[in-house]
Chains A and B, each alone.
Chain A
Amino acid sequence: MDKKIFIVAKREYLERVRSRWFIAVTLLVPAVIAGFSVMMAYAASKGNASNAVRHITIINTTSSDIGQRVADALMADSTLVGADSIRPRVVNVSPAELAQAETKAADEVKIPNHIAGYLVISDSTLAGQSVRYAGRNASSITDMDKLQNTIRQSLMMVRLQTEGVKPEIITEITKTRLRFNTERLSERGRTGSGQAGLFAGLIVGVMLLMLIMVHGQNILRGVLEEKSTRVAEVVISSIKPETLLTGKVIGVGGVGLTQQIAWLGITAYLISFFMPLVLKGAPAAGAAANAAAASPVTGVLNSITPMVIAIAIGYFIIGFVFYATLFAAAGSMVNSEQEAQQAAMPVIALVMSAWLCVNPIMLAPTGKLAVILSWLPWASPIIMPIRMGLTTVSPVEIAGSMIVAVIGSVGAMWLGGRIYRVGMLMYGKKPSFGEVMKWIKYA
């Protein structure tokens, strides 16, 4: 291969990577994504009840130990935000003394930094009818849900005991924690977590889409710049237009890959750095959120085999080359930014036509649409990784689709190269469709 391709690629790469724009975008995007993720995790942690549910007085007017059970259950809860060791105070009173106890508790609620509220458990509660709470956090949905669930569970335990169920069995029952794990099954057996596979496929699809939209159009602008500044003629007098085009696609593609690797790396770092800080107030909840965040990631990592990586990278490269060449050809046809927007439209429409099918394909990854798109070179690089994440695609279909995609890319390079070769030296008005056809013929 012509080593001058790499001189061109080096220039394209270094000039772009050195630019302030590149540095800003490369740093800002992960900051935004990480900030958003951390905010979401924070909001999710806010979705957990606060430790205020423990800072209460429980007034129990029944003869059972339900008050104590509620207090124990609250202390055993590990999901509370800002959990501390303050226990709810349980006051067992007779129904006659309720009014007095309530007044006292209400007065305590009014004292700052004291109890948050008080709970009244009566015979009506034991009968499964009602329970009463008064406090500062009475309007907090999460806190009230937590209290309600805890009381309901404690009530169930008391009732089971009354019905003569052994205490060990009751304890055993209440320890039940249900985790809901999903696993994708196919004719080849277990292939990892269903969500994780989709996640991995979508990441590849979205990254390719961004690479095409951002850096494909970057190529278009670069070509236009070389043409409008007339530097193209000097360069083409030293190397073949095809060499320039190839070097450009490699260089700009490298910029895109660098940026995306940086995005992934920086985002992962920022999230792992800031997540514990933001969720510090709730170590238990933080750990839970981290575990939740980590589980799809580890799931993704588990479902990715070297073969899948190779196929994804293959589609990634084929897809980028296909679109990058077409963008370059579009750039070579025109003389101004405005015309460039128009010339890029058909190429953008082609990308978007594939992208708009992602949703239907996620719903029916083995459907007709999905199968057809897997054989179309401009759609398969985006569609295939998503399909492969969702379902099992036969190796024959993958190989066939890849071969068609490679042929498509080579065809795009041939076509784009011919348009580029003529277009780079054509000035004046924007060519008509017929004229472009002639360029392809005569180049």
Chain B
Amino acid sequence: MEKKAYLEIQFSWIFALIVGAIILFFAIFMVIKFVKTESSSQNIQTSKEIGILLNSLETSYEEGTSNLIALPQYSKLYSTCSNSGNFGTQGILVNEKVYGKWQESKIPAIFEDKYLFLDNLSEGIDFYVFSKPFEFPFKVATLTYLTSSIQQYCFINPPTSVKEEIIKLEQTNLVVSESNCTSESPIRICFSSGSLNCDITVKYNEKFLVKEGKTFWFVDDASMYAGIFSVKDQYECQMKRLMKRANSLSEIYKEKILLNTYSSCKSDVLLDLESFISYLNSYSDSKDFKSSNLILTELENKNKYSLCRLW
């Protein structure tokens, strides 16, 4: 009898313990999953908010001014780029550091109308953003450059226009003289061939820059900054997206000339627009910018001196 009673208690206890452990394991598993989802959702929310904040920088009167974005946590910012679709997409990904541990998130906030350039080293709490219009030859988009406040960029011997622009920005992590280049590991951007210890060499008149052994071709200051503040694959992808947008805008301008009011204007931009569209269709990478000079000048001049300007 005693044995039976002993067995009875033992069995119910074992049963309760096993099922209890399963419930506890399931509960812990769910809590961990939930915390991960919550931190991912927080990261996506921050990414989306950054994207929305960038909207206010894109109005033409905000161009050429620098703004500070302060994040709630120490974070790493990533930019993703895709060429698929009509205009490609820009992704913004934020990974926060919570209690010394990175909360990895793999889902970026996606935007079709943004062109954000940032370096691999973009981490910190405070980030500087400034923007510039990309004109090719008409305004195609506003390019936004994001840098961490803890990363210093030293512009060594820049041309006057670049120097004046950077001084006007009043962005503390961008300096234009070697004497102010005081941080521990600054990124040195050299504009003259004699400079030493250069991370980026810019051949301003030849319109290309070399970074990490890779060549970035540019057309104007906006695309030059894009090369300075981004990595090669991102730069090429964003340029391709910009060319897609330029193509669509060219089509709009081409149809605009065909409106009745423009028939009385003596405008021969149409033919140039057509050859510009075929140039844009054949664009493959930034090396193709080398051959754009002639057509851009033609288009710009013909539009400028036309009786009814298209842009």
Check if A and B associate. no
